[in-house]
Chains A and B, each alone.
Chain A
Amino acid sequence: MTAPRARAARRDRRAILTGLAWTSPWLFGASLFMFLPMALSLWYSFTDYPLIEEPIWTGTSNYARMPDDPTFRRVVWNTAVYSAISIPACTVLSLVLAALLSMRIRLARFFQACIFVPTLVPLVASAMVWMWLFNGEFGLINRLLALVGVRGPTWLVDQQWVLPSLVVMSLWSVGQSVVIYIAAIHEVPRQLYEAAVLDGMSPLRRFFHVTLPMISPAILFNVIVMLINTVQIFAVPYVMFKRPDGQNPAGHFYTMYLYENAFVYGQMGYACAMAWLQLLVILALTAVMFIGGRRLVYYRGG
């Protein structure tokens, strides 16, 4: 009686060892390059750590400082507003483009490639290109506006135009989500559309009543990925707005300020506190989306 069970247990243990062996590269790498730094950063977030000297425990003072820090409030506001505009705008645009491109038309692949290409451009390069396009005097956008008699603003200087300019830039890189949505639309069963046509639904209503619900899992996935990336916006504003003559306050974002605190101002403790707050906010928002998603997202067979 006990012998087979012991043998099974031994087999079980051996399987676990095998599994651990195969996954050990990641387990080791993640411990060293992910979990250990996370633990360190959690510890630093409770210290005064000027980087150049040893950390000294100061309790929650770094967290307590945040509400009174006007720059912190500004970067939170900028990042939140940017995300709140950019994520929905990108989602809507990519859904519309995906819907158009999944029609049976010639050149669809070509159009798709055109839309996808910008996502390949290194962020630093695209920041440069857009600085050139948005230049108040020589930029293509203002030159085009001048053709129709409009004097365009200095996009990247005017406080009220900085965020819209960045949102336009973010729209430029919806290529990846478009591709995901097109693939999702392709998987929607044909019968559903046929039934909808028989019911006399217009193409627009078909989109809202058939396509959207059927691809909602892909939308949820995409929005979450976008959220994680958008909240971390760094390279583009860093290249665009970090100048020897000062930072444009409208182009100052959360991760930029975090970076400055860590590596420029010698406030590593504060930077780590900011990082952990960012992590918690992302986790909370993702959780909210999953819970909200459970009501809105349609999972086939589930």
Chain B
Amino acid sequence: MTSAGEITRRGALGLMAAGGAGFLVFGPRGQRADTRGRIVLDYWEKWTRHEGDAMMRVVDAFNQSQSRIFVRYLITADIGQKSLVAIAGGAPPDLIGLYAYNVPPYAESNALMSFDDLAPAFGLSLGQYAPGVRQVMQHRGRWWASVNTAGSVALYYNKRAFREVGLDPDRPPTTLPELDDAHRRLVKARDKGPLERVGFFHPEPGWWSWLWAYHFGGSIYDAQADRSLVDSPENHAAMAWMQSYARDLGPDRCKAFKESFGNYFTPENPFLTGKVAMIIQGPWLANLVTAFAPDFDYGVAPFPVAPGLSDPAAPVGLIDTDVLVIPRGARHPEASMEFVAWTQRQDMTELLASAHCKPSPLASTSPAFRATHPNRGIGVHYDIFQSPRAFVPPQTRAWQQFKDEVDTMVQRLWRLEVSPEAALPPLERRTQGFIDRAAEERRRRGGAS
């Protein structure tokens, strides 16, 4: 290397170092508001983008409404697991926006403050909420959480595709055989070649792969007996039904088809591009439509059920919620509860719900909220809230592991690598093992079992 080379190399290094140093000094920092003289509450939440912006508006409104408390909105990734570690570390935030299924393990581990003690002073009561929603706020008879937003899950279908194949766009399927029939008519493929469109496709988006049994009139967990029901006849029927799709379409074509899907929150979402004509989704799907395909013509209906189970007055559907909790060790429980009460006001709840494109979790809503709601099918989601056949994710401490195990097995079943007869009995033993171990942990710590 010549000395000229040395000099330029030094120069390049120096330039990089200077650039790095400059960025260190002048680069962006996380925003920190002026909080002098106020109680500062750290609020961890999972939402980003427009969903986070809406929650931030609620937080800002609270911070401006009084001068005693300041809530700091911190976006946290992998919130369930980070909160676990933070509480264990003795340095929890004051408020956490968890998923509903996090409540049982946290509650059982004594990691949350009960709302039974704190909430009434701020005028909150369970009676304010829609019946289906109340289920997730409680665990083992105690009240642990308020609800940030709640959604129920329904069938979304592409009306244009329905028309194209001669299906009535105003009569969506109500039973699974009708769904199968619509699916078969909607499948489009260049003979034996790759799939271009399907009617229904189980692994898209695949967020609730455990729930099919409920639409066969069954369940995968019996809360009373604390037992896994993965091996129930209803789940066998559900898995056989799912496999019939994979078998008809061909497992290899299915895999290739799924790989061709764009990511969820993009214009390439397979429902928006027309690749999947019917999809199981929450009300927030309407936000995607607004953002990427405003002219997209969709319909909403309760997700179909097995023949004989259909009852328009009592639709079957999953209720999935985001909850707000106060962890044990939070420094200012009263102030935290004051903020919780703020978020549960009707106007704030509706602000959040319409931005997230969800129904309001409260029993009563303002007429304006429903009239101007961006999701045209929001009524269906309300009906599920009110339905006695609405269900929530299994409320067991072992759910995270239970769910991971079921998800993995459902994927294998979908790929036809294993039959339900071979897969489900060991899966039930295994998931029951998680439940039993959770019960044993509870006993060991002297809790009521």
Contact = CB atoms under 8 A, between A and B. Distances in A.
Direct A–B touching, Cβ under 8 Å: yes
Contacts of A70: 426, 430
B207 A244 contact: yes
Interface string B197-223: 000000101110100000000000000
Interface string A244-277: 1111110000000000100111100000000000
A52 B410 contact: no
A158 interface: yes
Given A136-B259, A154-B259, A263 B209 contact: no
A265 B445 contact: no
A68 B371 CA distance: 56
Interface in A34-55: 48, 50-53
B370 interface: no
A127 B205 CA distance: 22
A265 B401 contact: yes
Most buried by B among A159, A244, A245, A260: A245
B209 A52 contact: no
Nearest to A156: B259
A247 B411 CA distance: 8
A237 B85 CA distance: 23
Interface string B101-114: 00001100111000
B402 to A, nearest CB: 10
Contact of B255 (A71, A138, A158, A263): A158
A58 B441 CA distance: 11
B33 to A, nearest CB: 31
Contacts of A154: 252, 255-256, 258-259
A246 B404 contact: yes
Given A70-B426, A135-B259, A136-B255, A264 B81 contact: yes
A81 interface: no
A239 to B, nearest CB: 13
Contacts of B407: 245-247
A157 interface: yes
A56 interface: yes
Contacts of A135: 259
Contacts of B81: 263-264
B88 interface: yes
Contacts of B426: 70
Contacts of B430: 70
Interface string A126-159: 0000000001111000000000000001100111
Nearest to A159: B417
A94 B441 CA distance: 50
A-side interface mostly = loop
Contact of B408 (A50, A58, A247): A247
A243 B417 CA distance: 19
B49 interface: no
A50 B207 CA distance: 26
Given A48-B444, A158-B255, A263 B84 contact: yes
A22 B375 CA distance: 69
B410 A136 contact: no
Contacts of A136: 255-256, 259-260
Interface in B236-263: 252, 255-256, 258-260
B-side interface mostly = helix
Nearest to B407: A246
Contacts of B401: 264-265
B260 A138 contact: yes
A265 B401 CA distance: 6
A48 B51 CA distance: 38
Contact of A137 (B87, B209, B260, B417): B260
Interface in A12-68: 48, 50-53, 56, 58
Contacts, number: 86
B106 A137 contact: no
Task: Indicate the size class of the contact surface on chain A.
Answer: 20 to 34
A266 B105 contact: yes
Most buried by A among B105, B111, B259, B441: B259
Contacts of A153: 252, 255
Contacts of B417: 159
B404 A52 contact: no
A53 B411 contact: no
Contacts of A58: 444
A137 B258 CA distance: 9
Nearest to B202: A245
A53 B110 contact: yes
B405 interface: yes
A117 B444 CA distance: 53
Contact of B412 (A243, A249, A263, A265): A249
B400 interface: yes
A263 B88 CA distance: 10
A70 B444 CA distance: 25
B109 to A, nearest CB: 4
Contact of B109 (A50, A56, A265): A50
A246 B426 CA distance: 18
Contacts of B441: 48, 50
Interface string B98-141: 00000001100111000000000000000000000000000000
9 tightest Cβ-Cβ pairs between the two chains A and B: A246-B407, A245-B206, A136-B259, A137-B260, A154-B255, A51-B88, A52-B109, A137-B259, A265-B401
Interface of B: 80-81, 84-85, 87-88, 105-106, 109-111, 203, 205-207, 209, 252, 255-256, 258-260, 400-401, 404-405, 407-408, 410-412, 415, 417, 426, 430, 441, 444-445
23 contacts: A51-B88, A52-B84, A52-B109, A53-B109, A53-B445, A56-B445, A58-B444, A71-B405, A135-B259, A136-B260, A137-B260, A138-B259, A153-B255, A159-B415, A159-B417, A244-B205, A245-B209, A246-B209, A246-B407, A246-B411, A247-B404, A263-B85, A264-B400
